[in-house]
A and B are shown apart, each in its own frame.
Chain A
Amino acid sequence: MKTSAIILRVADFLKGFPPFNYLPDEALLELARSGRVQFCEKGEILFDQGTTHGRYFHVINKGSVRLVRGEEQRLSDLRGPGDFVGAGAVLGEESHTDSALVDEDSILYALDASVFTRLCAESPRVSRFLKVYFASEEVETETAHHQGPSDWRGGREEHLARLKAGMVTGPSTQTVREAASAMSAADSPVFLVVEPDGKAAGVVTETDLRNEIATGRVPTMAAVGDIMRRPVITVSPQATPQDALLEMIRHGIRHLCVTEDGTPQSRALGMISENSVSLAQGRNPLALVREVRRADSPSSLRAMGEELDLLLAGDLSSADDVPWCTRLAAEARRAMFRRAELWAREKAGPAPGPFALALTGQAGRGELLTATNMAAVGLTSDDEKTRAWTQDLLGRIDEGLAAAGFPAATTSDAQEPGARYRTIGEWSEFFCSLVRDPIGGEIWKQMAFFDLSDVAGDPAMLEAVFTALREEMAARPNFIRLLANDALGNLPPVTIYEGYAVEADGLARETIDLQDYALGPVSDVARVFHLDGGDLHATGTFERLAAAARRFPQGADVFAQGARAFRVAQYFRAGQGLRGGDDGRELRPAALNRTEQVQLKSVFRDIGTLIAFTANHYGFKG
């Protein structure tokens, strides 16, 4: 079918925006051909909330559309060129969840929803994008595929030259003894058996030699063709370290053959070993943690912290990686803390009496994707010597951590002098007085203390404090409700529009503090449900939300959405922080690509839903 320039023009416009760019050209043309071009003036209503979806949904070509909800016409989104409105029918919604008002004179493409629905069903990527757009699901970001160490040590050319130079090859008729000798001479762990035309025929590894020769199963004069492994798994010279790693994992092998076109049908160029992949990937996480435990100075710890950041930046290629990377980061940074604590204890000498150390706030929850401050608090026995010793120990740990590159506590984390170490009785009284008079005690400044996790010393001391706190909380059920009220304070922005974060009152901000407006609200809500369940040991926000979903199944979806939002916000923050070498809090939405902006919008929406659920659960007006 011949396609006119008009249809091509509309299809071209659509192609510039997700999810239309995921559709094949033919599908895009079909969609464009199904449509109408409309001009709408400022103030016109496209559709009203609650009305059923019509035949068409709209893609904004020029101008903007405001989505509002409820009688008070609360802003729920602002959409501009490339955004679409009224497409809920595609996801099976019966009626419009918002009203759509034309915000300025606009050109809209009205496209046939049934055609789009069919095309979406044929494209999983489009369907997935729409779920993010309308509800809550993560989408692969464009950048996800480009993050991390995507190149080989020294670059691709050097990598190819290296693997060519290191390749040990021979015909299948060569004896095992000759092959072993060639491998030994070249210090190569692998021997590639090649055909006369240079194609890979099989592989013999050191392990094969050990298994076959050393055990006497095969004589050393046997031909390598008799013991070689086949088929040879091949990759192209363009394969990245991640590609190579995936292939190795997929086939359970430690060597890959690089061929001219990536198939076994072309000439072999060299061998990639697991070692070269892990060198390019940064460091083996387990090896890194082992090294942290053996670090001999704060400066070496600092270098390991930088390596950890590199490793995380490499592994964090989508929001799905956040939970695993969070666990890895927490393990590694807590190991760093323990190392600093060990040095401090070596200098402070033996403890005069019982003591314990606990991490607070993000460190207590183990949410340490970026290097945040690791300020610990101390529990000490009630004698002056141990008090002084604990104070000295905390100071030395702070010094060690600072020298190891950890940021110092910010003013909001600072506590009054002497408040970082207390006896069990003093800590118990501190918590109980907060529970008795949360407002007078300015509890909102002290929330980090409700995320305590023991890190050194006698864990029973922290348990004793928890017992006292638990009893006090049980006696004052209104305390949790007040905590919930506090957790509802920082509402996330409503949307991202033209690179600005737009709040419900229309205020537009160029940057957004991810901690205050995205991560903080979720972790605050998660803490409320966690404490409400009577558990005082700090756990991570993901675990808390999962536990809340088990206790309140009617909110399971909302908690899952909150966890997703937390994961995506962590991903943005960590990505920024690991790239920028800071804590990644400040995010400029304008710096995000369109897909990422859509993700961020869904983060805000999900957090809004979680906050509304929490407000409702504890009897506040949403």
Chain B
Amino acid sequence: MDSKAEPRYVVFDCETTGLDPSKDGILTIGAVAVRGGEICLDDEFDAILSDWRMTSAVLVHGITQAESARGETEAQAVNKFLAYVGDGVLVGHHVGFDQKIVAHAARRLGRDLPNPALDTMRIALALEERGAFDGREIRGFDLDSLGALFDVEPHDRHTASGDAFITAQIFIRLERMARKAGIALANLIERDDQEHEAR
């Protein structure tokens, strides 16, 4: 199969200073592309931002002040990320929040994030509704539970790149299951709009 004809999915995750996209900022962004059912290691993105003060969030994400100090400004990182995403379809676990916080940052630069997005949790729920898990026990639909279901190692959990990689490994399975179950991913697409609730 010619993978160039396939849509380019950008599986991404942000670690942030808090849970309010309008006030909080991005600490790190990690992303990797999926095309033709494969995670493309030569098409990935990783940024640490320098302009956010240390908050309790750093305890979860394990970013040290020194690391952050070496990072890029929000403007540099977000501009690069937008260029990296291009016209790709965004994918994430609870993607709405990550999409929103990047969109807010983009707006601060006078830009926007019009890309469609797919939430791996919503795909998993849709598959569950169709009985596509075929009797497999699902503990939950959070990232850890889906990772455990698909035997994905929880390496580098709670880092943007780590979570993006885990999500991508879950996504390539869900995508395949959706194809088998006759679920069109296009029907599950979300777009950033002002009504979308932050998580």
A residues contacting B by CB (< 8 A) are: 2, 4-7, 9-10, 32-39, 41, 62, 107, 110
Contacts and interface: CB of A to CB of B under 8 A. Distances in A.
Given A38-B39, A39-B173, 20 more contacts: A4-B30, A4-B161, A5-B46, A5-B156, A5-B159, A5-B162, A6-B32, A6-B44, A6-B161, A6-B164, A6-B165, A7-B44, A32-B41, A33-B42, A34-B42, A36-B38, A37-B38, A37-B169, A38-B38, A39-B176
A562 B93 CA distance: 56
A41 B41 CA distance: 21
B169 A39 contact: yes
Contact of A4 (B38, B45, B172): B45
Contact of A62 (B37, B151, B155, B162): B151
Contacts of B169: 37, 39, 107
Closest 6 pairs (CB-CB, A-B): A4-B46, A5-B161, A37-B39, A36-B38, A35-B41, A6-B165
A479 B198 CA distance: 86
Interface in B18-42: 30, 32, 37-42
Given A39-B173, A62-B151, A5 B41 contact: no
Contacts of A36: 38-41
Nearest to B35: A36
A62 B44 CA distance: 22
10 contacts: A4-B30, A5-B30, A5-B161, A5-B165, A32-B41, A33-B41, A38-B37, A39-B172, A39-B173, A110-B38
Interface string B157-182: 00101101100110011001000000
A173 B164 CA distance: 74
Nearest to A31: B41
B48 to A, nearest CB: 9
Contacts of B161: 4-6
Most buried by A among B30, B32, B39, B155: B39
B1 to A, nearest CB: 12
Interface residues of B, number: 24
Contacts of A41: 176
B189 to A, nearest CB: 22
B102 to A, nearest CB: 17
Contacts of B156: 5, 9
A110 B36 CA distance: 13
Nearest to B161: A5
Interface in B29-75: 30, 32, 37-42, 44-46
Given A2-B46, A37-B168, A7 B159 contact: no
A34 B38 CA distance: 13
B168 A35 contact: no
A342 B169 CA distance: 74
Contacts of A2: 46
Nearest to A32: B41
Contacts of A35: 41-42
Contacts of B30: 4-6
A613 B165 CA distance: 49
Contacts of B164: 6
Contact of A9 (B42, B155, B172): B155
Given A5-B156, A37-B168, A62-B151, A10 B41 contact: yes
A110 B176 CA distance: 18
Given A2-B46, A107-B169, A7 B41 contact: yes
B79 to A, nearest CB: 16
Interface of B: 30, 32, 37-42, 44-46, 151, 155-156, 159, 161-162, 164-165, 168-169, 172-173, 176
A15 to B, nearest CB: 14
Nearest to A63: B151
Nearest to B171: A39
A313 B159 CA distance: 50
Nearest to B42: A33
Contacts of B39: 36-38
Contacts of B176: 39, 41
A37 B41 contact: yes
A17 to B, nearest CB: 16
A38 B155 CA distance: 17
A9 B173 contact: no
B44 A4 contact: yes
Most buried by B among A2, A33, A37: A37
Contacts of A107: 169
Contacts of A4: 30, 44-46, 161
B29 to A, nearest CB: 10
A259 to B, nearest CB: 41
A107 B168 CA distance: 12
B165 to A, nearest CB: 5
B137 to A, nearest CB: 16
A119 B5 CA distance: 31
Nearest to B38: A36
B8 to A, nearest CB: 13
A4 B40 CA distance: 13
A578 B165 CA distance: 48
A111 to B, nearest CB: 9
Nearest to A107: B169
A374 B94 CA distance: 75
Contacts of A38: 37-39, 172
Contacts of A5: 30, 46, 156, 159, 161-162, 165
Most buried by A among B41, B42, B172: B41
Given A5-B30, A39-B173, A34 B41 contact: yes
Most buried by B among A4, A6, A7, A9: A6
B64 to A, nearest CB: 15
Contacts of B159: 5
A156 to B, nearest CB: 40
Nearest to B40: A36
A107 B155 CA distance: 15
B163 to A, nearest CB: 10
Nearest to B160: A5
Nearest to A108: B38
A32 B40 CA distance: 10
A6 B47 CA distance: 12
B125 to A, nearest CB: 20
A34 B159 CA distance: 23
Nearest to A35: B41
Contacts of B155: 9
Nearest to B3: A36
A534 B155 CA distance: 65
A387 B45 CA distance: 88
A29 to B, nearest CB: 10
A4 B159 CA distance: 11
A121 to B, nearest CB: 21
A7 B39 CA distance: 11
Nearest to B162: A5
Contact of A37 (B46, B151, B172): B172
A355 B45 CA distance: 85
Most buried by B among A2, A33, A39, A62: A39
Nearest to B175: A39
